[in-house]
A and B are shown apart, each in its own frame.
Chain A
Amino acid sequence: MSAPAASGAVTRLLVEQADAPDLLDRLVPLVYDELRSVARRHLRRNVAPTIRTTELVHEAYGRLAAGAKVPASSRAHFFGAASRAMRQVLVDRARRRQAQKRPQERVSVDFGRFEVADADGRADDILAIHESLGRLARLDERAARVVECRFFGGLSAEETAEALGVSARTVKRDWADARAWLYRDLRPADA
């Protein structure tokens, strides 16, 4: 299979403009399409639909960077961008799913019982998390990005730390606090 068209552009960005302040914004659209198609392939390959986000992001990287010699820091930037792109992919698809759905009361789904959640409920929840994460970002952008990398991008704490240029310990703290904040935002105790 030939390298995707975005490959050259991604490599150039990662190698030549690793320090550009708008690197993230410029990378995300390039990664977006690739992630979508990799995700589609993963889904098609399996009888029961499952995706391992980590594999998916790494596969997208492998295809986009296609053997170019990329500095470790740029690679980390890429994963950060891929996490943002993945978030967009999922949000777009969840929105389409909602648009197709019959209008009805939004069903409150227990996040913990993933196995019983239906497709509609999950689309609703992804959008709810996405919106809540937007509110958190206004309060604490770094913590929000940690959630983006770990939850949407499937990155480990260490990869997240590298992508964001902070310590792993900071990532862990941000993650714990952000999770509490998001949960409280979505499920106030007395609701």
Chain B
Amino acid sequence: MTDPTRWVEARRLLDVGREVPAADRAAWLAEACPDSGLRAEVAGLLDAEDRAASSGFLNGSAADWSAPFLADEPDAHEGRAVGPWRLVERLGEGGMGVVYRAERADGLYEQTVALKLVGRGVAPEALRRRLRHERRILARLAHPHIARLIDGGVTDDGQPYLAMELAEGAPLTQYARDQGLDVRARLGLFVGVCEAVAHAHRHLVVHRDLKPSNVVVVEDDAGRPRVRLLDFGIATLLDGEADGTMTQTGRLLTPAYAAPEQVRGGGLTTATDVYALGVVLYELLADRRPYELGPELSPTGVERVVCETEPPAPSAVAPAGRRRALRGDLDTIVGKAMRKAPADRYASADALADDLRRHLDGLPIAARPATVGYRVRSFVRRHPVGVGATALVALALLLGLAGTTWQARVAAAERDRAQSEADRANQTADFLRGLFAASDPYNPDAEGDTLRARTLLLRGAARLETELAGQPAVRAALLHEIGVSLRGLGQLAAADSLLAAAEALQLAHLGPASPDLGTTLYERSVTLDGLGDYDGVTATARRALAVRRAALAPGHPDLGQAMDWLATVHEWNGEPDSALALERGALALLEGAVPPGDDRLIQARHNLGWMLQRRGDYAAADAALARAVADTRAHAPDHPELASTLSLWGLALRHLGRLEEAEALYREALDRQRARLGPDHAEVATTLNNLARLPLERGDLDEAERLYGEALAIFRHRLGPDAFNNGVVLAHLAGIARRRGRLDDAERLAREALALHERAFPDGSTYTASALVELARVLSARGRLDEAERRASAALALREAQFGPDHEGTAEARALLADVRGRRSRT
């Protein structure tokens, strides 16, 4: 209809017609409208009116209805150049800005990235500064499960941007739902997430905004699902926590995944990520989140829910078919990751992953369900300022946070004084253990940047000189932990001075019989051993045992540890009988006190084997070491000490003539040590030294000399020119030179070896004896029989004293002396 006059007519008829029942309309219309054309129009309009009403045509408003296409309006930025990038397509919008697929615009090479135009409240200058600091660290986070930061900067018109590796996939939780994955498959993917987070933590990068949309699943070429973590370190870049410019209002967080300390505005640590991992795991297993945090909740409301309520166990809310699988272990694991107090959570993402693996393997998990005690503590903690104030102090200290934050946290710690010092020291130590585990190369998980960790530790130690004067127990605990960590990094002198300071503080403030003092003395003794201060070692080892005897119950495993250590000290000091007796005592105590895989027990078995071996009782040593290796393989296959036990066992087997077995053990030990400690670690050199003996006995002098040479270079580099270890290798090299007829070299090497041992062991040692034996042989070969006889008889005296008259070493020295004397009598 296009004729206005006819339309007016039609409207008049419509007005009446819409009141006529549908069944009667045709009759009514035939009568009311003689014009058949108009009649058809009106009939059509009446029909349209009914159809319009029943389909809701034009109900609601146009804008409301258009929202879907308004919301994802094609973006004005597409096609725009940003730094070296060109925006291709808008991928989505997040809390921090809009994300685009972008390509390299400068044509230098082909690369597609996810480029984030940062929208909200980030000052371009601050971002630029942080990028300068952080970009290198973030770019180094090379891990198959982490999408890397590739570039970042500020556009010409002042808008900050970040370019990340592009990972297109579904969020982990959605992927699991869509694919209908079972619990095992979900856990398998999640363990990969933990590994990636742990890797980043080792590089001292905290994510701070872990949530399913930042954990995507991408299928690889073979169609296998692979997890990828997005936005690592980005929250810190945008938020400025790292340089102390963070403000409460500028804080980026996703309430549903934020830890209590995060919603409260407290210090953010690796523990914050562990919490978020717990929430993601909860959601992954239960298909719903632990807390209902609707958009209507105020920030205070969110804080109340997150900090003060315990969510239901995942098994209580999961789909019915999955509940049984979650009950028990998985409920416990999620609960431990999501503890309110950071110190109560898993110490690291690795520890969380380990427990999940143990669960998958059907082994008992490490986490325990929350006890009444835990609930009480978490209640006490969440009310006053007390939440791990010391932990925050420690973190601030380590990261060298800017003045204001630091002072504020010290103040919080002061208010926390009511808590007993010892309790607090334990908290601090636990916290630091988690934080530091990664910087100790003896930690099985460590692979991090030791240089950076060392810098942090030394900086932390320097701060302790001036800070925390009023809290000696906390200070001592921090000194202790930093000292032990530094020792792990090879900083022995620094470690010892921190431990000595800790010892003095503990003695003054905790008294002469505290377990803490016992532990500090023990660690100090171990450290002094590395430094070669053997008098100090003996004195501290005796004191450690005495203090622990006074402070601990008679069957306490730490007592066994102190006995074990003092036994080895006795052995070094040439008191093999008391050493062996004490070691057997330590072993008996530990066997009754700890499970078979315990470190201290493994260590004691190893040491017993070592002592037996040194006595020449190779069969008994073989038995002890075989047991030590079997236990370690069964309970702690990645134990860092396994390599040296293998090496020692190899030595025993060599003496028993089982050469091929011996060489296999040495090679395994060497591989393990190189992988764990790096190619030039002292332990590697020790094994090289032992291994070299086998080609030597086969007559392969070249191979033996090569291995000894490598060992010597490492020892000299790592332990310095005066280490007795150099002497051990030098004596072997002297023997090779002698057998090759290079007698000048041989004599020089043997004398150097002897000098080192005489300096290290003024009262003589088995090593001194070995050097004497070698020197006597060289001198004898050169025909200098007077001195040869003198050296050989000194060797025999030492070996008799060390090993008794029947030891094969003693027999060797006796035979040598007889030979020299025989030659003398012939000349």
- B362 CB-CB contact with A under 8 Å: no
- B23 CB-CB contact with A under 8 Å: no
In contact, A96 and B70 (Cβ under 8 angstroms):
no
In contact, A179 and B73 (Cβ under 8 angstroms):
no
In contact, B44 and A112 (Cβ under 8 angstroms):
no
13 residue pairs bridging A and B, Cβ less than 8 Å apart:
A43-B67, A93-B66, A96-B73, A112-B54, A118-B68, A139-B1, A139-B2, A151-B58, A179-B57, A180-B46, A183-B52, A184-B44, A189-B44
Chain A residues, Cβ within 8 Å of B9: none
Q: Apart from A53-B63, A126-B65, what are 14 other A-B pairs with CB-CB below 8 Å?
A: A56-B63, A93-B69, A96-B73, A122-B66, A126-B66, A152-B61, A154-B61, A173-B11, A177-B14, A177-B45, A180-B45, A181-B45, A183-B51, A189-B44
**Which chain A residues have a beta carbon within 8 Å of chain B's beta carbons?**
39, 43, 47, 49-54, 56, 86-87, 89-90, 93-94, 96-97, 100, 110-112, 114, 117-120, 122-123, 126, 129, 135, 138-140, 147, 150-154, 173, 176-177, 179-184, 187-189
In contact, B63 and A114 (Cβ under 8 angstroms):
no
In contact, A183 and B73 (Cβ under 8 angstroms):
no
The docked-state distance in angstroms from the alpha carbon of A30 to that of B52 is: 34
Select from chain B the residue with minimum beta-carbon distance to A120.
Answer: B69
**Which chain B residues have a beta carbon within 8 Å of chain A's beta carbons?**
1-4, 7, 11, 14-15, 18, 44-49, 51-52, 54-58, 60-74, 295
Select from chain A the residue with minimum beta-carbon distance to B18.
Answer: A176
Chain B residues, Cβ within 8 Å of A179: 49, 52, 57-58
In contact, B2 and A90 (Cβ under 8 angstroms):
no
The 8 closest A-B CB pairs, nearest first, are A112-B55, A49-B71, A184-B48, A53-B61, A180-B49, A183-B52, A119-B69, A154-B61
Min Cβ gap A147→B in Å is: 7
In contact, A183 and B295 (Cβ under 8 angstroms):
no
Min Cβ gap A54→B in Å is: 7
Asked if A112 meets B56 with Cβ closer than 8 Å, knowing A43-B71, A50-B64, the reply is yes
In contact, A177 and B51 (Cβ under 8 angstroms):
no
In contact, A43 and B1 (Cβ under 8 angstroms):
no
Chain A residues, Cβ within 8 Å of B54: 112
Select from chain B the residue with minimum beta-carbon distance to A152.
Answer: B62
Chain B interface mostly: helix
In contact, B52 and A151 (Cβ under 8 angstroms):
no
The docked-state distance in angstroms from the alpha carbon of A178 to that of B73 is: 30
Question: Looking at the complex, which one of B47, B56, B61, B70 makes contact with A189 (CB distance below 8 Å)?
Answer: B47
Chain B residues, Cβ within 8 Å of A50: 64, 67
Asked if A49 meets B67 with Cβ closer than 8 Å, knowing A139-B4, A180-B49, A187-B48, the reply is yes
Min Cβ gap A172→B in Å is: 11
In contact, A154 and B63 (Cβ under 8 angstroms):
yes
Chain A residues, Cβ within 8 Å of B58: 111, 129, 147, 150-151, 179, 182
Chain B residues, Cβ within 8 Å of A120: 69
Min Cβ gap B256→A in Å is: 12
The docked-state distance in angstroms from the alpha carbon of A173 to that of B13 is: 12
Asked if A122 meets B61 with Cβ closer than 8 Å, knowing A177-B11, A183-B52, A187-B48, the reply is no
In contact, B68 and A122 (Cβ under 8 angstroms):
yes
Q: Which of B47, B60, B63 has the most CB of A within 10 A?
A: B63
Asked if A151 meets B2 with Cβ closer than 8 Å, knowing A122-B66, A180-B46, A189-B47, the reply is no
Select from chain B the residue with minimum beta-carbon distance to A173.
Answer: B15
